[in-house]
Structure 1
Amino acid sequence: MSKRLTSKQFLWGNLVFQIMVGIVAGISLALVAPELAISLGLLGSLFVKALKAVAPILVFVLVASAIASQKSNDESRMKPVLKLYLLGTLSASVVAVALSFMFPTQLTLTQATISNVAPQGITEVLNNLLFNLVANPVTALMEANFIGILAWAIALGMALRTASDSTRIMVSDLAHGVSSIVRMVIRFAPIGIFGLVANTIATTGLSALLAYGELLSVLLGAMLFMALVVNPMIVWTQIRSNPYPLVFKCLRESAVTAFFTRSSAANIPVNMGLCKRLGLDEDTYSVSIPLGATINMAGAAITITVLTMAAAYTMGIDVDVPTALLLSVVAAVSACGASGVAGGSLLLIPLACGLFGIPNEVAIQVVAVGFIIGVVQDSAETALNSSTDVLFTAAACLSSHEQEEIVAAVDAA
């Protein structure tokens, strides 16, 4: 007997299916009634604003609660997660260099004004990270400074480990309460993404991207290669079994929303929910997911590397292998300092261009090119960054005693 999909089942059913319906509806509306689609872009802006509003406080209370309630004899998996984050980001830079050698791309540069100020050296990037680390906690929450939020949450969690059981239970209840609010916000994802897609297609269309098709092909090719080849290989070294069911689940349930919100920070609640459904250790993912949104930036490393290499080719600079490998390291380190918001990696391109002696005036024009193709580039970059946070966290949690539970959770979805 066939089953009919009732309205209640649709409203509270599979979120990914609902998001796909929202995407199709948004594209259709943009093609049929572009003016109305632009007006309904308000729905997307409200959704992203709500996610960005709740993400900082969620990160703060979850990390503090996880550390406060952690048993002294608990096995910490943060060290392997950190190793995977750094390995993935560096691997992405190397992949981007290799593809840039295989498909050298030149740019048509036009003068443009960029309102933000790009960092002028790696020292400035590290200084910014250090100052963000000791920022005022209230200011960190207001400005969504996740480095500062993590630092204060870890410090508070460590201090609360010696508190009374009732105090730690209260902090845990607070974390669960904020998580409930996040789940309510996420239920509006299909409507929000409908608004985002409708507004984007109606406003920009695809004409602005055609002139940069070759550059986009290299960028997207590198990101796809990382997502479908390199990341599975890295995960396989940890779990010694077929990684693709886990890879595809992370892409489907994390990358889709990250692609449209274009913010690793805004996608933190989505990743938290996915980790919970996978049955991962909460003490691990409540720290690793927010941390990944700030330092696990494979997509950002690819963007910085590819655009810098394209700038070098445009200027007629002969790039040798040692310099390209040095660029990989600089791009990986710089990517860790990229902000978890839309376009956060582009302002680090002038820093990498400095390796080749490219003038800042030219580098800023390359940044402008990045903003032109950002409707696709930044979306794909964020999708890779954010989905990899869950992927590597799950890989680190796949120890022998809980592997069967996580595999069952992946297969059940």
Structure 2
Amino acid sequence: MKTLWNKWNDISLIKRILVFLIIGAILGVIFPNMDGTSPIAGIAILGSLFVGALKAVAPILVFFLVIAALANAHADGSMKTIIIMYVFGTFISALVAVIASQLFPIELTLSGVEAAEKAAPSGITEVLETLLMNVVANPVDSLANANYLGILAWGILIGVALRAATEATKAVFTNISDAIATVVRWIISFAPFGIFGLVYDAVSTNGIEIFTEYGLLLAVLVGCMFFVALVAYPIMIGVIAKTNPYPLVLRCLRESGLTAFFTRSSAANIPVNMTLCQKLHLNKDTYGVSIPLGATINMGGAAVTIPVMALAAANTLGISVDIPTAVILSVLAAVSACGASGVAGGSLLLIPLACSLFGIPNDIAMQVVGVGFIIGVIQDSCETALNSASDVMFTAASEFRNMAKAGQTVDPKTWDK
């Protein structure tokens, strides 16, 4: 069994997901279950088990990730500009996603929508009231009931308070966070089977047309990420470095983004980014901190995924989103994206946090997470490519800004060598 398990893990997760996705779709066409008479209807339970495992681990994952990140956070003066770019870039990404979702609204086929519609908030006042009450909810109840706003609030408070603790105490929370992340990786390793069940259930009960809405959703997600990478971020870099940003942007996308697309892990791409920074002749003392930090908090791709998926759920339930609510969602998505797990599909586990802003039940939100894993082969790859490439972009832009202030010449042509 151990040999089989090792061989299973040696196969790329992307390849495993693709194979089981195709098999699930084929079986869904051959054995339709629209009337509940399919002889293999039990396959759908694999999807339910997978979503159930995610529902169980997501609250505690968010809680300890936030605590560990804040307890161990540190920054000096040289890092100030880079951190500001990380945070602002993540917020801009979320704002782009919200605007795109308003321009191109997507609706999903989910179960239990009728019951959920009755609980939908009517406007910004009710949204704010729900938000504030969830923030001050009992932390134990928040964990038990998957109240992500309460989890995030208490995680922030405890994380900030622990900054004064001893290094040994901080290490305990870091180790707990790492252990939970390991459990998530174990669950994600079974994603092909879960997606197999989810795809079979979706196709067998709704027909092959179900992939049309998935394609539209994926188009909005990837379109937003391309816009952020090729328009929004270059504008930021141009303003900071005061020069043509595209040689740097294109080189980072080519040498860092392309690798990250296939590894689907910002952490795994850290050595690649370090090497690229060295090629760009950046300060090792700076990028030695900024690149690992960026792999943790610079999550523009995740900030696109979270609001697009949450607004798809809101559109499905007929919830109207006004401008104040959209701004709140952008901020919430940016903050939660900074705590996204470092494993494949980690940002998807934070979708319920954004959905809770609209009072969307956790059962509905986790179905959206399941949809995210179905399209995750492309979505997560593009997301990681954007996240990782921008780590180098922002680090370089900050250093070139300092060079310009010191009167040194910055030649953008050297960025593309």
Interval of TM-score (by shorter of Structure 1 and Structure 2): 0.5 to 0.7
Offset of 1:123 from its aligned partner?
A: 3.8
- 3-state SS, counterpart of residue 106 of structure 2: coil
- Structure 1 residues 146, 266: closer, same or farther in 2, change over 3 A? farther
What's the CA shift for 1:239?
Answer: 1.3
Give the C-alpha shift of residue 118 in structure 1: 9.3
**Equivalent residue, structure 2, for 1:122:** 149
Distance, in Å, in 2 between the alignment partners of 1:110 and 1:342 is 26
| One-letter amino acid matched to 2:148 | G
AA at the equivalent of 2:302: A
**Corresponding residue of 2:415:** 410
Aligned to 1:158: none
Q: Secondary structure at the match of 1:264?
A: coil
Answer yes or no: is the 8 Å Cα contact 1:125–1:337 preserved in 2.
no
- Provide the residue aligned with 1:42 in structure 2: 10
Deviation sequence 1:215-235 (CA, Å, 0-9, x none): 001101110000000000000
Deviations 1:16-72 (A, max 9, x none): xxxxxxxxxxxxxxxxxxxxxxx7982657xxxxxxxxxxxxxxxxxxxxx9xxxxx
Distance 1:402 1:218, change over 3 A: farther
Structure 1 residues 228 and 313, CA gap change in structure 2 (3 angstroms)? same
Alignment-derived partner of residue 171 in structure 1: none
- Deviation track 1:273-318 (CA, whole Å, cap 9, x = no partner) reads 1111111111111111111111111111110000011100000111
Q: Does structure 2 retain, via aligned residues, the 8 Å contact 1:209–1:373? A: no
Aligned pairs for 1:75-90 (under 5 A) are 76-90=77-91
Q: Please identify runs of 4+ aligned residues in structure 1 that moved more than 3 A.
A: 116-119, 126-147, 207-211, 401-409
What is aligned with 2:239?
237
The residue type equivalent to 1:309 in the other structure is L
Pairing of 1:208-357 with structure 2 (within 5 A): 211-357=213-359
Mapped to 2, the partners of 1:343 and 1:117 lie a distance apart of 23
RMSD: 3.6
1:143-182 mapped onto 2 (5 Å cutoff): 144=178
SS in 2 for 1:100: helix
Cα separation, partners in 2 of 1:409 and 1:341, compared to 1, 3 Å: farther
Rate the CA distance shift 1:268–1:388 in 2: closer, same or farther, 3 A: same
2:243 aligned partner, one-letter code: S
Equivalent-residue separation in structure 1 for 2:250 and 2:399 (angstroms): 17
Query: What is the one-letter code of the residue matched to 2:248?
Result: L
Among 379, 386, 390, the residue aligned to 1:388: 390
CA distance in 2, matches of 1:86, 1:252: 23
TM-score between the two structures when normalised by the length of structure 1: 0.63
Q: Work out whether residues 263 and 341 of structure 1, in 8 Å CA contact, stay in contact via their aligned partners in 2.
A: yes
| Superposed counterparts of 1:370-389, under 5 Å | 370-389=372-391
In percent, how many aligned pairs have the same letter? Answer: 52
- Alignment size in residue pairs: 291
SS in 1 for 2:346: coil
Read off the aligned partner of 2:10 and give its amino acid letter. L
Give the unaligned 5+ runs of structure 2: 1-6, 14-74, 113-142, 182-191, 200-207
Instruction: Determine the C-alpha separation between the residues in 1 that align with 2:153 and 2:295.
Output: 17
SS at match of 2:331: helix
Seen in structure 2, the aligned counterparts of structure 1 residues 238 and 320 have a Cα distance that, compared at 3 Å, is: same
| C-alpha spacing 1:83/1:146, structure 2 compared with 1 (3 Å) | farther
Kindly indicate whether the alpha-carbon contact (under 8 Å) linking 1:119 and 1:125 is maintained by their aligned counterparts in 2. no
Instruction: Report the CA distance between 1:269 and its aligned residue.
Output: 1.3
In the TM superposition, residue 125 of structure 1 has moved relative to its aligned partner by 2.6
- Against the structure 1 CA distance between its residues 239 and 43, is the aligned structure 2 distance closer, same or farther, given a 3 Å change threshold? same
CA distance in 2, matches of 1:136, 1:119: 25
Partner residue, 2:108: 107
User: Relative to structure 1, is the Cα distance of residues 383 and 321 closer, same or farther in structure 2, using a 3 angstrom cutoff?
Assistant: same
**Cα–Cα, structure 1 residues 323 and 395, in superposed 2: closer, same or farther, change >3 Å?**
same
Which secondary structure does the structure 2 equivalent of 1:220 belong to? helix
Structure 1 partner of 2:51: none
Maintained 8 Å contact 1:279/1:405: no
- Distance in 1 between the 2:231 and 2:312 partners? 24
Residues 99/244 of structure 1: CA separation in 2 closer, same or farther (3 Å cut): same
CA displacement 1:163-187 (0-9 Å, x = unmatched): xxxxxxxxxxxxxxxxxxxxxxxxx
What is the CA deviation profile of residues 80-107 of structure 1, one whole-angstrom value per residue up to 9, with x for unaligned ones? 0011011100101110111011100001
1:330–1:352 contact (8 Å) kept in structure 2: yes
Counterpart of 2:343 in 1: which secondary structure?
Answer: coil
Q: TM-score, normalised by structure 2?
A: 0.62
